[in-house]
């Protein structure tokens, strides 16, 4: 039986989204009826479209067995996307063998927050999601495709591709992941060296050796940050094949899953026997399933922004209260770094997403009556893919955890509620990730120290200015101010202060990485400082209460909110490292709780 809260939240999302969702579906159904323009193009237009197709040129001109458009984020400077270099060839060969064709419709940019962390480039990161969506739209605009395959993994990339997929929602959409790199040194050992470097007790050579041992080969990073949270979502929401998320790159099973995904993309096109457009897959129930998965796994806070934007692209309106209510009834079933010592490879070996989906279905926390690219019903996603005769066979997945230090059943969770919490109060709305925060650190009331950038925080730390309990306020970091960069480089500093016995919290209108978590952090504060938010009225010494137990974010100093708004010199955010190209995004972007979107 479906959980009462899950049913209630789903119903109110459906009601709230009614008019917009119906208008969206009407557009998609109209596009489906019109079909691809391939057959209606002039001979010259068709010749242009097929001229580069090599062995498939004649088939495209004379047959209609199905043409797949590939949108790829391949580049070879980012480990997560390097494996995609081989995918177009695999896809073309598999499509040809099945009687269809495939073409790379377009490439889209893919940047890494890990590389740009703490630099000016990080201010482009959130906006890159919208660029990715638009670039994918350009690739598919030729309207010569019967279905689409999306190759993407990391932070802003998958959300951007999902937004694009919904703009072309009459087409089936199969998402093919690259998988995580094999395990290097433990994430805990890596974090320990980072904290020692921040306190001056480790050399840069030691830090570099540690980082290279952690990030050592092709595939996604193995901690449970935004990239791997994206992969979980694609499985919970039915856009991956079952069990595909965490299979390592360049292995026989990964290649077999890529081939099977290609075959499925043809089978669910309008020319196949199981037409399943993405507009029918990504409905309100699918988004609720994704949110439940986010909580049960202790996933990245970035998805509270991305899921809202993704849903709106399909006419569905989510708000942070939906997330909070679902968190209250969803147990935390996984401990994956930074919420534990295990990485995603260990999680996958312990039973992974198939085991977790089975547990959540049995507990009434997921909608089973959904459409997926694998067929009707989420129950299909309790199965594991196995190699058989060079192809993939799905078998029943584990019904018991294989390591209860990493993955637990519904009846014995790591904690009774999910890993994310909405905060509200006199300082506005915010979110916090509590799955990695120890219970004794989940309520902090302390004087504020106010900063306008993260470098000033680190400088104050180096100068020994933090000697007592503190709420570090970093403002003018919202989407309008500077693109809402992640402030992950503050994590070692704040963790060191907490380790010294101080009560420490962070309050910011910026973001924190999906890898953050040990220190209580009220992030995505709305309204942001540049938009007149109360955070712009705070001064040093004001008492701030961050309460993840009762969901409170308040200033308790009398008269604090009667002051004039602070201002900041943001001219340094306008130029350098491409920031001048994104001025219009900063001017038009919406609030974080509405998805922080400019499109």
| Residue 221, marked binder | yes
CA distance 307 to 309: 5
Cβ atoms within 10 Å, residue 134:
17
- For residue 154, say whether it is annotated as part of any ligand binding site: yes
Angle, in degrees to the nearest 10, between helices 125-140 and 303-312: 30
Q: Which residue has the tokens 């926390």?
A: 365
User: Which residue from 269, 259, 242 is spatially nearest to 168, judged by alpha carbons?
Assistant: 269
Around Cβ 186, how many Cβ atoms within 10 Å? 17
- By DSSP bridging, strand 371-372 and strand 391-396 are unpaired
Report whether 13 contacts 317 (CB < 8 A).
Answer: yes
Helices (H), 218-319: 226-236, 252-267, 278-281, 284-297, 303-312
Instruction: Please state the length of the chain.
Output: 599
- What's the CA gap between 577 and 314, in Å, rounded? 33
- Structure tokens of 467? 């000697």
Place of tokens 């010569």: 144
DSSP 305-345: HHHHHHHHTTT----HHHHHHHHHH--B-B--TTSSS--HH
- Beta-ladder partners of 308: none
Angle at which helices 284-297 and 4-34 cross, to 10°: 130
Binding-site residue ranges for [4Fe-4S] cluster: 154, 221
């Amino acid at each position: 039986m479906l959980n009462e809260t899950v049913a209630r939240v789903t119903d109110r999302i459906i009601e709230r989204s009614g008019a917009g969702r119906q208008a969206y579906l009407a557009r998609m159904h109209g596009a489906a009826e019109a079909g691809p323009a391939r057959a209606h193009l002039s001979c010259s237009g068709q010749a242009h479209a097929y001229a580069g197709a090599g062995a498939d040129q004649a088939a495209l001109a004379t047959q209609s067995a199905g043409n797949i458009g590939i949108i790829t984020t391949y580049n070879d400077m980012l480990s997560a996307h390097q494996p995609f270099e081989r995918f177009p060839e695999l896809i073309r060969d598999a499509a040809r063998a099945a009687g269809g064709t495939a073409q790379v419709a377009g490439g889209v940019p893919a940047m890494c927050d890990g590389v740009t962390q703490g630099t000016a480039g990080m201010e482009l990161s959130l906006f890159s999601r919208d660029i990715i969506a638009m670039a994918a739209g350009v690739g598919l605009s030729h309207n010569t495709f019967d279905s689409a395959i999306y190759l993407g993994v990391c932070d802003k990339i998958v959300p951007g591709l999902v937004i694009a997929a919904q703009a072309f929602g009459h087409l089936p959409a199969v998402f093919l992941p690259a998988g995580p790199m094999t395990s290097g040194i433990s994430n805990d050992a890596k974090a320990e060296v980072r904290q020692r470097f921040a306190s001056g007790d480790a050399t840069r050579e030691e830090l570099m050796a540690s980082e290279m041992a952690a990030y050592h080969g092709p595939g996604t990073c193995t901690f449970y940050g935004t990239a791997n949270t994206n992969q979980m979502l694609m499985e919970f929401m039915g856009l991956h094949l079952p069990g595909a998320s965490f299979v390592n790159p360049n292995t026989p099973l990964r290649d077999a899953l890529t081939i099977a995904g290609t075959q499925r993309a043809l089978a669910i096109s309008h020319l196949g026997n199981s037409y399943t457009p993405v507009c029918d897959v990504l409905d309100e129930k699918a988004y609720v399933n994704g949110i439940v998965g986010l909580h049960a796994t202790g996933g990245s806070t970035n998805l509270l922004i991305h899921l809202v934007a993704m849903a709106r692209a399909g006419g569905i309106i989510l708000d942070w209260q939906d997330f909070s209510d679902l968190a209250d009834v969803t147990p935390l079933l996984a401990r994956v770094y930074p919420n534990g010592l295990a990485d995603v490879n260990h999680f996958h070996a312990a039973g992974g997403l198939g085991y977790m989906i089975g547990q959540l279905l049995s507990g009434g926390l997921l909608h089973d009556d959904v459409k997926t690219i694998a067929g009707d019903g989420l129950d299909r996603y309790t199965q594991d893919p196995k190699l058989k005769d060079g192809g993939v066979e799905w078998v029943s997945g584990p019904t018991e955890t294989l390591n209860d230090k990493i993955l637990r059943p519904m009846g014995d969770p790591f904690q009774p509620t999910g890993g994310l919490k909405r905060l509200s109060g006199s300082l506005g709305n915010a979110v916090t990730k509590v799955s990695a925060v120890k219970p004794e650190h989940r309520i902090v009331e302390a004087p504020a120290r106010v900063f306008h950038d993260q470098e000033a925080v680190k400088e104050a730390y180096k100068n020994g200015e933090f000697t007592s309990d503190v709420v570090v306020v970093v403002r003018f970091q919202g989407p309008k101010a500077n693109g809402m960069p992640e402030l992950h480089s503050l994590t070692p500093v704040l963790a060191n202060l907490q380790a010294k016995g101080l009560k420490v919290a962070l309050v910011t209108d910026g973001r924190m990485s999906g890898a953050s978590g040990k220190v209580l952090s009220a992030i995505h504060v709305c309204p942001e400082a540049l938009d007149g938010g109360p955070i712009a009225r705070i001064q040093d010494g004001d008492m701030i209460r961050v309460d993840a137990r009762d969901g409170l974010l308040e200033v308790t100093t009398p008269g604090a909110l009667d002051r004039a708004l602070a201002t900041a010199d943001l001219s340094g955010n306008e130029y350098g490292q491409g920031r001048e190209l994104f001025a219009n995004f900063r001017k038009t972007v919406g609030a974080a709780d509405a998805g922080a979107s400019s499109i």
